[in-house]
Structure 1
Amino acid sequence: MTETVSFGYEDVAPDEKTARVGEVFRNVAARYDVMNDAMSGGLHRIWKDVFVRRVKPRPGEQFLDMAGGTGDVAFRLATAGAAVTVADINPAMLEVGMGRAAERGHDGLVWSEMNAEQLAFPDRFFDGYTIAFGIRNVTDIPRALAEAHRVLRRGGRFFCLEFSTTLWPGFADVYDAYSHHLVPKLGKWIAQDEASYRYLVESIRRFPDMARFEAMIGEAGFVQTRVEPMLGGLVAIHSGWKV
C-alpha cells in the first residue's frame, strides 16, 4: 500500500482517510437514501435492481453484502431467497439499515460491523460477495479485493456496482458540471452537509476507470472478469469468479 491514498482530491495518510470516510458516513447516514434519490433522480433503484438480476441469487446461497449499511442490496438478495450477511465499517449506516429491515419485515439478515480489508469470516465461507457504491471509499482497495476472494468458495462470484467515468460525448461534460456544482448544494439543502457530498463526488473522479478496476479484480485472483457499463460508464457492474 502506498504512503498516501486519495480522499477526494486530497492525498492523505491511510489512517486519515479511514477516519475521514467514517466521519462522512456518520454525517450522512440518516439522509443517505433520500440523497441518493435526489442525486440520481431515483435511478439508483433501477441500477440496484439490474445489479441483483446479474448476481442471480438463489435460495439457500450465502451472500456477504459489504458496505451494505442501509440494506438496499441486501433486501433484494434476501427477497430472492439468499441468506445475507450485511457488513459495514460504519455503525451509523448499519443502524439505519437495521431500522429499515425491521420496518420491512426482513428479520433474517445478519448485521456485522466490519472493515472490508480485514474480514473476520473464515476462508471459502460465502457463495457470493456484493458491494454497491462502497469500494471507492475503501482505504486499501487491493486488500479488500483479496479479502473478497479469500472468503468466497470455489465457484463463488464477486459483483461490484460502482460509479465510473461515462464515455458518452457531451453527457460527460454535463454530468461533470452537475456533480461538481449541484450535488454539494443538494447535500447542503437536504442533508445539511455540503462537504461530505463534495467528497463523494471527488471520490468518483479519483476512482480507477473501468479497465483499470477490472484489471485490479483480476490481480486479486478472480477469473472471467467482466464489466457492464450503464449510461456509457457513469455506473458500471464489475464481476469475477473464484475457481
Structure 2
Amino acid sequence: MEDNNTTHFGFKQVPTSEKAKHVAEVFHSVASRYDLMNDLMSMGIHRFWKRFTLHNSNVRRGAKVLDIAGGTGDLTAKFADMVGSKGKVVLADINASMLNVGRDRLTDLGKSGNIEYVQANAETLPFPDNTFDCITIAFGLRNVTDKDKALRSMLRVLKPGGKLMVLEFSQPVSWLTPIYDTYSFKVLPALGKLFTNDAESYRYLAESIRMHPDQTSLKKMMEDAGFERVDFMNMSAGIVALHSGYKF
C-alpha cells in the first residue's frame, strides 16, 4: 500500500524521493546493453511496435518532435528523417548514461543536423509552453515517479492540435498471462544474467511492467491530465499498448 511518502520500485516500496535514484541505477547498469535488453524483453518484436508508433504519429516535414525517455534513439533516428532539415527532434532522457549512448549511436549513423539532446525529467520538462507538434514516450512512462505530473508537463509543452503517443508494456489478454509471467519472472532474469551478468535489473523491469496502469487506467489518467480524443491500440495480444491523445 502506497502513501504520500512512498512509491513502488518494482514490487518494493521505497521513499518517493528516492525512486528516481533507484531507476537511474538500473539504467546506468544497462545503458551500454540497452538494445540487447529490448531484444531480450520483446524477443525482437519491439521494432514492429516502434514502426507502428511512427506510422501513427502523422509527423510531417518541418515538425518539432520530443522523444522522451528516448534511450538509444530508435524513434529519434526515424523522426529525424521524417521531419527533414527544417524540422527538429529533441531526444530527452533523465539518465545521462542513456543520453550519451543515444548521442553516440545517432552520431555514428550520421544523424545530427536536426537533433538536439536534453537531459530532462518528464515531470518538469524544460521547454516553453506550446513547443512541440508531437511527443512520444516509449517504454519510459512506467519508470516515472509521478505519472500524472509528467502527463500534465507533456500537455503543457505540446502545441494546440499536437499529439502525445505513449508506447508501453500493458495488460495482456487473460489466456496469455501465465505464459507471460513465466517468461517475465523466470526466463528474462536468467537471460539478463547470461548475456549481461545483471539479473536484478531485468527482474526490476519485469516488475515495473506489472505495476504500470493497465490500458483503461492509463486512458483515464491521460484524460484527467487534459488530453482529448484519448484512445489506445493493443499490440501482441495486449502485451504492449499504444495510447494517443491530443491537445486542443
Q: TM-score range by the shorter chain?
A: over 0.9
Q: Which amino acid aligns with 1:225?
A: V
Measure the CA separation in 2 of the matches of 1:99 and 1:67.
16
- Give SS of 1:70's match: coil
2-side partners of 1:177 and 1:41: how far apart? 14
| Structure 1, unaligned runs of 5 or more | none
Aligned to 2:221: 216
Q: Give the drift of 1:130.
A: 0.4
Q: How far apart, in 2, do the equivalents of 1:113 and 1:39 lie? A: 25
**Mean Cα deviation higher: 72-81 or 199-208:** 72-81
The SS at the match of 2:122 is coil
Q: Distance in 2 between matches of 1:190 and 1:135?
A: 26
TM-score of the superposed pair, with normalisation by structure 1: 0.97
After superposition, give the CA deviation of every residue in 1:132-169 in whole Å (9 maximum; x if it has no partner). 00000001100000000000111011001000010152
Within 5 Å, give how 1:68-147 maps onto structure 2.
Answer: 68-81=70-83, 82-108=87-113, 109-147=115-153
- Measured after TM superposition, the shift of residue 69 of structure 1 is 2.2
Are the equivalent residues in 2 in contact too, given 1:63–1:129 (CA < 8 A)? yes
TM-score (norm 2): 0.95
Structure 1, residues 85-128: CA drift from partner, whole Å, max 9, x if none?
00000000011101110111111210011110111101111111
Q: Does 1:9 align with 2:11?
A: yes
Residue identity opposite 1:157 in structure 2: K
* Structure 1 runs, 4 residues or longer, greater than 2 Å off: none
Q: Where do 1:111-190 residues align within 5 Å?
A: 111-169=117-175, 171-190=176-195
Mapped to 2, the partners of 1:154 and 1:63 lie a distance apart of 14
The question of whether the paired residues in 2 share the 8 Å contact of 1:133 and 1:163 is answered with yes
Distance across 2 between alignment mates of 1:192 and 1:90 = 21
CA RMSD of aligned residues (A): 1.1
Q: Which amino acid aligns with 1:192?
A: N
Give 1:239's aligned residue: 244
- Percent identity of the aligned residues? 45
Letter in 2 for 1:99: D
